A and B are shown apart, each in its own frame.
Chain A
Amino acid sequence: MSEPRSHAVLIDRLGTGLVPVRRLPPPALRALGWLLVVGAIAVVLSMHYGLAGMLQRWAAAPDLKWAGMGAVITTITAAWAAFALGVPGRPAAWAWLPLPGMLLWIGASGFGCLRSWIAPGTEVAGMHQSVDCLVFIVSFSIPLSALMIVLLRRACPLRPVLTAVMIGLASAAASASLLEICHAYDAAATDLLTHAAAVALVVAVNAAMGGRLLSRV
Chain B
Amino acid sequence: MPQTLTVTGLMGLGCRHPTWTSAEPTVQADASAASASESPDQRRAAWMAAAQAGDRRAYEKVLADSVGLIRAAARRQGVALDRLDDVVQETLITVHRVRHTYDPTRSYDTWLSAIASRRAIDALRSRGRRDSRELHDEFAMETHAGPDDASAAAEQLQRAQRLHAAIARLPPGQREAVEQLGLREHSLSEAAELTGRNSGALKVNLHRALKALRGHFHGEP
A contacts, CB < 8 Å to B: 3-4, 6-8, 10-24, 26, 86-90, 153-156, 158, 214, 216-217
Which residues on the B side are within 8 Å of A26 (C-beta)?
103
**Secondary structure at chain A's binding surface: helix, strand, loop or mixed?**
loop
Closest residue on chain B to residue A11 by CB atoms:
B63
- A13 and B3 contacting across the interface, CB-CB below 8 Å: yes
Report Cα–Cα, A89/B111, bound state, in Å.
4
Within residues 96 to 120 of chain B, which ones have a CB less than 8 A from any CB in chain A? 96-103, 106-107, 110-115, 118
Q: How far is the CA of A6 from the CA of B113 in the complex (A)?
A: 21
Cα A184 to Cα B107 in complex, Å, equals 50
Contact between A217 and B14 (Cβ–Cβ < 8 Å)? yes
B77 contact set on A, CB distance < 8 A: none
Contact of B106 with A18 in the complex, beta carbons under 8 Å: no
Provide the bound-state CA to CA distance between A6 and B180, in Å.
Answer: 13
Known: A6-B85, A7-B85, A87-B101. 13 other contacts (CB 8 A): A11-B64, A13-B193, A15-B56, A17-B4, A17-B7, A20-B21, A21-B100, A23-B20, A89-B110, A89-B114, A155-B98, A217-B14, A217-B97
Taking a contact as CB atoms under 8 Å apart, the answer to whether A154 and B63 are in contact is no
> A26 to B99, alpha carbons, bound, how many Å?
14
Contact B15 A20 (CB under 8 A): no
Bound together, the chains give a CA A89 to CA B95 distance in angstroms of 12
Does B157 touch A at the CB level, under 8 Å?
A: no
9 tightest Cβ-Cβ pairs between the two chains A and B: A17-B5, A20-B54, A216-B14, A20-B20, A21-B100, A3-B85, A156-B98, A89-B111, A88-B114
Q: B186: shortest Cβ distance to chain A, in Å? A: 12
With both chains docked as a complex, state the minimum distance between the C-beta of A88 and any C-beta of chain B, in angstroms. 4
Q: Is B6 interfacial (CB 8 A cutoff)?
A: yes
**26 A-B pairs whose Cβ atoms sit less than 8 Å apart in the complex:** A4-B67, A6-B85, A6-B89, A7-B88, A14-B63, A15-B60, A18-B56, A19-B54, A20-B54, A21-B19, A21-B52, A22-B18, A22-B100, A23-B102, A24-B100, A87-B103, A88-B118, A89-B107, A89-B114, A154-B16, A155-B15, A156-B15, A156-B94, A156-B97, A156-B98, A216-B13
Band of interface residues on B:
35 or more
Which residues of chain B are near A16, meaning CB under 8 Å? 3-5, 56
A172, B99: Cα distance in complex, Å? 31
Q: Which of A12, A23, A90 has the largest count of B CB atoms less than 10 A from its CB?
A: A23
Q: Which residues of A contact B170 (CB under 8 A)?
A: none
Point out the residues of chain B lying under 8 angstroms from A88, CB to CB.
98, 101-102, 111-112, 114-115, 118
Residues of B within 8 A of A11 (CB): 60, 63-64, 92
Interface assignment of B202: CB less than 8 Å from any CB of chain A: no
